[in-house]
Chain A
């Protein structure tokens, strides 16, 4: 009765519920009111148009970084380097955004395209190493993250500004920000990037499910040797998967660079957009639509959680623990799967 697909839907929902319940128990143990806590979380994310706008703002890069991780996972590759690819995309989009004067119809697509290419290039290197030399992509991408972080810090400081710690704002013609949306949401930082993110989810679904390339990519993900025997070019598919994955990640960077901030500053650490993308992809069962839903959940948790300390008195540390618990239960979906199977057998 239980089809695989139903499993893929049930497991994430149960994980989230378990996470919320254990969060409530922890709040009770430490003497905080879980209902007030979760109400604060909800109001922090949806309380009024401003917070709703901020939630969408946070969801936008999460969708793209989630897609990036999911796409690579579909081809059997674990792209830990989404974080670095986000940095490269951010840098490239801002670079184009501040150094050209073009009409918007050229400038904005050019900046977005540059971000995708920069991210794709950053994904191409580990893809190439994996395909040609068999170097494991996890190690390479982790290292590439650090290269991206320090490289972009150095470029921002020395090339894009005169030793300052941030670049100028991108030209209005390259900006995704919208006065209209901002005014509607009491000046939240919501931007048109949301449309780009949804469009990309559609693109991913189309590539994976409706094209020969997608079929080959999935096939390589299931079994490399069988794919090779069937006459597919495994190396080409590995590189292609990393390149497309990197392009999605680069776009996530463009969302921050052209939308949320409008500039790039020196970062002392990672933004976590890429790392959270791993959790988003897993929670979304590596499907385009699942990633959108999971990105929403993460965006809601991130933005809503900011409200918990001031509105319900729950300390920030506890909020972090509750979010971590939800991720924990998502990651341990195998356990949930096992329990469901167990019950099913007993039922018989």
Chain B
């Protein structure tokens, strides 16, 4: 007994010894890394001509390959990098978040790596951006899809309700059963914008059409998406608009399953954020009617350019919409998007841009919109 206890103590001591030794070496490293960061600091001050301007972004849990807005944002940064001779790791970079506990850690790390502008992609990062931007007033931040006050934060938001309205117009023109569906990610003010716009669009074309609204309570649960879609399609709904990130992959899977077993069945999915034409391809046909394209990449690129030229729009809320071509309706599926639908969409787009139609962006506004019809 005594002997084994002695052994245990010995092992603890050894372990701690290793820890301490490692700490010591890291202390040394820290010194060198400290001096290197000094170097970069002096470079920064000498290179006032923006030669070492650098940008990075933090994704939400969807990850950089989510086929949705994280990916779109990274494409925007890559395009910005290409214009300015930067590549991943040199001038531009991204950090992926595995869980919501990682947002603040990732933002902090990028601040420490001396990035001049750091994007938070997605409204989920808003609390983390709020915290970190206050702690580091000398670094510029940009938040996509949500609003945060602060002189060093630019908020990038989109008029998704306008695009969703047009998606609703397309859906209303396409449906044969007069029933359409909406699948949202997480119930909250952002996705409610999509819902309100879509419902308003559908009802503007034909108030008789029923719209079924469901939320998956997740942006990355494709199984749940598939289950909801299966339920909707079996209730004679033939067009589903999803605003649910990765959850939407399940909606596409279900639509393709149905098409696979019965090629004559008319089922459609309306994609979101990026043109999701590829996701809907099955054999020679395609279940993607259209997509509500939100050009996160354009917005990200534009703000990066402004920041590089010393015109960072800190404290401002930048709204991108139909008029800036940052929101649009995809026409890749020419077979499904007939002349008739395209002209109807164009007509309503005209009205929205002119200000003739005020598209609702919340459930309350939607109610007043419907009542006034």
Contacts and interface: CB of A to CB of B under 8 A. Distances in A.
A269 B221 contact: yes
A164 B186 CA distance: 10
A186 B109 CA distance: 11
Interface stretch (A27-35, A65-73, A260-268): A260-268
B278 to A, nearest CB: 22
B75 interface: no
B109 A9 contact: no
A43 B29 contact: yes
Contacts of B113: 310-311
Contacts of B56: 310
A213 interface: no
Interface in B9-34: 11, 15, 22-23, 26, 29-30, 33
A309 B187 contact: no
Chain B interface residue number, banded: 35 or more
A224 interface: no
A284 B218 CA distance: 34
Contacts of B220: 268-269
A146 interface: no
Given A6-B4, A306-B109, A268 B11 contact: no
B219 A268 contact: yes
Nearest to B89: A313
Contacts of B101: 58, 256, 260-261
A310 B188 contact: no
A344 to B, nearest CB: 16
Contact of A50 (B8, B23, B108): B108
B218 A46 contact: no
Interface string B131-144: 11001000000000
Given A187-B135, A306-B106, A310-B110, A268 B29 contact: no
Given A6-B7, A165-B188, A303 B105 contact: yes
Nearest to B216: A268
Chain A interface residue number, banded: 35 or more
Interface stretch (B92-100, B153-161, B194-202, B332-340): B92-100
A9 B26 contact: no
A138 interface: no
Given A3-B7, A5-B7, A266 B186 contact: yes
B311 to A, nearest CB: 27
A42 B26 contact: yes
B217 interface: yes
Contacts of B33: 43, 47
Contact of B100 (A153, A265, A311): A265
Nearest to B63: A316
Interface in B108-130: 108-110, 112-113
A54 to B, nearest CB: 5
Given A42-B22, A266-B186, A310-B95, A9 B8 contact: yes
Nearest to A58: B101
Contact of A164 (B95, B131, B188): B188
Contacts of B89: 310, 313
Contacts of A266: 186, 217
Contacts of B109: 44, 51, 306-307, 310
Interface in A1-40: 3, 5-6, 9, 13, 39
B95 A268 contact: no
Nearest to A270: B99
A155 to B, nearest CB: 13
A268 B7 contact: no
A306 B95 CA distance: 8
B11 A309 contact: no
A157 B7 CA distance: 53
A272 interface: yes
Contact of B4 (A5, A165, A186, A268): A5
Nearest to B93: A310
A271 interface: yes
A101 interface: no
B187 A165 contact: yes
Given A5-B8, A58-B101, A260-B101, A268 B218 contact: yes
Given A9-B11, A51-B109, 5 more contacts: A153-B217, A188-B108, A189-B104, A268-B219, A310-B89
23 contacts: A3-B7, A39-B29, A42-B26, A44-B109, A46-B23, A46-B26, A47-B26, A47-B33, A48-B30, A54-B108, A58-B101, A164-B188, A165-B186, A187-B108, A187-B132, A187-B135, A261-B101, A269-B220, A303-B105, A306-B98, A306-B109, A310-B95, A316-B98
Top 7 A-B residue pairs of the complex, sorted by shortest distance between their CB atoms: A268-B218, A5-B4, A187-B135, A165-B188, A3-B4, A9-B11, A316-B96
